[in-house]
Amino acid sequence: MRFWTRTLYTLALLAASLAPALAQNKFPLAAPAGVDSKARENAPPGAVNQGPYDMSTWKYGAAFAPAPGTKIWNPVKLKLMQGGKVVGGTVRGVRDPSTYCAMANAGYDFIWTEMQHEPSNWRDVVNAWRTCPRAKAVPGVRVAYADEREIAHALDGGALVLVVPTIDTVEEAKEAIKWAYFPPLGSRSLGGGPAFDPDMWGSVPGGYLNTINDNLVLILMIETLEGLKNADEIAKLPGVHAVFAASSDLSNFSGYKQGEPDYERAINIVHDAAIKAGKKLCGPLAWKDRPDFTCFQAGHEMAAIARGARAELGELANTQGKPEVGPFAAPAAK
């Protein structure tokens, strides 16, 4: 018994002494245990980035670059590139995924899921998107602001069209770009999420991580007088695919209505910014015939239901009976 005890003790000591060497063999470029590797001053042999560490001169690697010849798989991005007009149908309520899916299969190019002016939560939004990921219209969203948390929820949840409202300055536009794209264009964090699932975009040709930067559509909204001031510089930023002339809020912030010269001047400033930068120009669907506008926001699901019912009923629409008494009777004249 004493022999086996000594043997086991000896083997344990041997294992302990060999552990650092075994670990070093498993991670050959790792810093030795307890030793300052001087990595800040010196790179390992074969590293692209030699010399003292300097983030301003860092050469980004090709680990996540798409393979040569990888094709665009987002139909909205493809249609925009081909010069087509794209339309987003607005969904304001997402608690019922069946309503979202009905809109997503109604003929729109993408769904403008409304998260700026609605009290929806991201769990319900993503649940709706995941219910019918292969619908005709791809999931899109207008977030509340250019914020890492907002944009991460949207993109990790599977959005392929990202609309960011009330962009007033170049700095705000750069924030939207920063959180929308993976490096090297942006600083989107690699956190996973439904977008990476095979039943969403995880199985796309070339892989989601490697191709989403090329497939995302980023639309920035110009809505204020300050936004107009900076529209030219905002539109020319890399990563911005379109600027949206916010029809309602440009009226709200300017004090003029559509058709009035001052209002039309504001819209034309956004138009000119897009044209000079070679970017797409977006607006409400009512402007589908306005020169140079190629992407649009259509009405919300309640309006679509009403329009569809009227079209289906034709001359029978709004021909309800008119009882003289009861809750459905016409109010008595005063």
Domain assignment of residue 237, yes or no: yes
Beta strands in 6-100 (DSSP E): 86-91
Domain assignment of residue 111, yes or no: yes
β-bridge partners, 142: 114, 163
- Measured over all CA atoms, what is the biggest interatomic distance in the chain, rounded to whole angstroms? 111
Q: Decide if 89 contacts 111 (C-beta within 8 A).
A: yes
Residue 246, domain extent: 75-313
pLDDT tens per residue, range 100-111: 999 999 999 999
Domain assignment of residue 318, yes or no: no
CA-based radius of gyration for the chain: 28
Per-residue pLDDT, 333: 73
Per-residue pLDDT, 313: 87
Indicate whether 2 pLDDT > 60: no
How many structural domains comprise the chain? 1
Per-residue pLDDT, 248: 94
What mean pLDDT is predicted for residues 47-53?
96
Looking at every residue in the chain, the average pLDDT score rounds to 92
Indicate whether 10 pLDDT > 80: no
Domain assignment of residue 2, yes or no: no
What pLDDT band is residue 92 in, cutting at 50, 70 and 90? very high
CATH code of the domain covering residue 214: 3.20.20.60
In 202-331, which ranges are continuous DSSP H helix?
A: 208-215, 225-229, 231-235, 247-254, 261-277, 301-313
Distances (CA, A) of 313 to 283, 306, 308, 309, 317: 30, 11, 9, 6, 5
Burial 205-231 (b: 16+ CB within 10 A, else e): ebbbbbbbbebbbbbbbbbbeebbebb
pLDDT above 90 as % of the chain:
80
Domain assignment of residue 319, yes or no: no
What pLDDT band is residue 97 in, cutting at 50, 70 and 90? very high
Domain assignment of residue 68, yes or no: no
